Amino acid sequence: MDHTIPAETAAHVLFHYGREGGYQPGSFTEQLITTIDMADPGNRDRLAAGFPDYVAAVVAIQYDPAGVTRLQQIAAGQVAA
Protein backbone atom coordinates (compact mmCIF):
# COMPACT_ATOMS: atom_id res chain seq x y z
CA MET A 1 0.00 0.00 0.00
CA ASP A 2 2.43 2.65 -1.22
CA HIS A 3 0.78 6.01 -1.71
CA THR A 4 1.78 9.65 -1.47
CA ILE A 5 0.92 11.16 1.91
CA PRO A 6 0.29 14.93 1.91
CA ALA A 7 1.59 17.01 4.83
CA GLU A 8 -1.94 17.74 6.06
CA THR A 9 -2.84 14.03 6.11
CA ALA A 10 0.35 13.20 8.03
CA ALA A 11 -0.46 15.92 10.58
CA HIS A 12 -4.02 14.68 11.05
CA VAL A 13 -2.88 11.09 11.64
CA LEU A 14 -0.15 12.22 14.04
CA PHE A 15 -2.77 14.12 16.03
CA HIS A 16 -5.05 11.08 16.16
CA TYR A 17 -2.25 9.03 17.70
CA GLY A 18 -1.22 11.81 20.09
CA ARG A 19 2.15 12.35 18.45
CA GLU A 20 4.09 15.58 18.13
CA GLY A 21 3.77 17.49 14.87
CA GLY A 22 0.09 16.87 14.28
CA TYR A 23 -2.98 19.03 14.41
CA GLN A 24 -6.66 18.30 14.77
CA PRO A 25 -8.68 17.67 11.62
CA GLY A 26 -12.37 18.35 11.18
CA SER A 27 -14.98 15.98 12.59
CA PHE A 28 -15.44 13.95 9.39
CA THR A 29 -11.72 13.37 9.05
CA GLU A 30 -11.44 12.46 12.75
CA GLN A 31 -14.11 9.79 12.26
CA LEU A 32 -12.47 8.60 9.05
CA ILE A 33 -9.12 8.09 10.77
CA THR A 34 -10.84 6.32 13.68
CA THR A 35 -12.62 4.04 11.21
CA ILE A 36 -9.40 3.22 9.35
CA ASP A 37 -7.66 2.62 12.69
CA MET A 38 -10.34 0.08 13.70
CA ALA A 39 -10.79 -1.59 10.31
CA ASP A 40 -9.77 -5.17 9.59
CA PRO A 41 -7.52 -5.61 6.52
CA GLY A 42 -10.40 -6.23 4.10
CA ASN A 43 -12.34 -3.15 5.13
CA ARG A 44 -9.15 -1.09 5.29
CA ASP A 45 -8.54 -2.04 1.64
CA ARG A 46 -12.07 -0.88 0.79
CA LEU A 47 -11.44 2.43 2.55
CA ALA A 48 -8.18 2.80 0.59
CA ALA A 49 -10.21 2.98 -2.62
CA GLY A 50 -11.62 6.33 -1.52
CA PHE A 51 -9.00 7.58 0.93
CA PRO A 52 -5.62 6.11 -0.09
CA ASP A 53 -3.54 8.83 1.57
CA TYR A 54 -5.20 8.42 4.96
CA VAL A 55 -4.99 4.63 4.82
CA ALA A 56 -1.29 4.84 3.87
CA ALA A 57 -0.60 7.18 6.80
CA VAL A 58 -2.47 5.01 9.32
CA VAL A 59 -0.72 1.87 8.06
CA ALA A 60 2.63 3.68 8.32
CA ILE A 61 2.06 4.73 11.92
CA GLN A 62 0.67 1.32 12.94
CA TYR A 63 3.11 -1.04 11.23
CA ASP A 64 6.29 0.81 10.23
CA PRO A 65 8.81 1.21 13.07
CA ALA A 66 9.92 4.48 11.45
CA GLY A 67 6.34 5.53 10.63
CA VAL A 68 5.99 8.21 13.31
CA THR A 69 9.26 9.85 12.34
CA ARG A 70 8.40 9.65 8.65
CA LEU A 71 4.98 11.24 9.19
CA GLN A 72 6.53 13.96 11.37
CA GLN A 73 9.01 14.74 8.59
CA ILE A 74 6.23 14.84 6.01
CA ALA A 75 4.04 17.07 8.22
CA ALA A 76 6.96 19.46 8.76
CA GLY A 77 7.66 19.63 5.02
CA GLN A 78 11.10 18.08 5.43
CA VAL A 79 10.44 15.19 3.04
CA ALA A 80 7.90 14.25 0.43
CA ALA A 81 6.10 10.97 0.92
50-72 average pLDDT score: 97
Task: For residue 1, tell me if it sits in a domain.
Answer: no
Task: For residue 56, tell me if it sits in a domain.
Answer: yes
Q: Which domain holds residue 17?
A: 7-75
Per-residue model confidence as pLDDT tens digits over 16-60: 999 999 999 999 999 999 999 999 999 999 999 999 999 999 999
77 Ramachandran zone, left/alpha/beta (phi>0; psi -120 to 50): left
Q: Please provide the DSSP assignment of 11-22 as one string.
A: HHHHHHTT-TT-
Domain count, the chain: 1
Task: For residue 49, tell me if it sits in a domain.
Answer: yes
Q: pTM (2 decimals)? A: 0.92
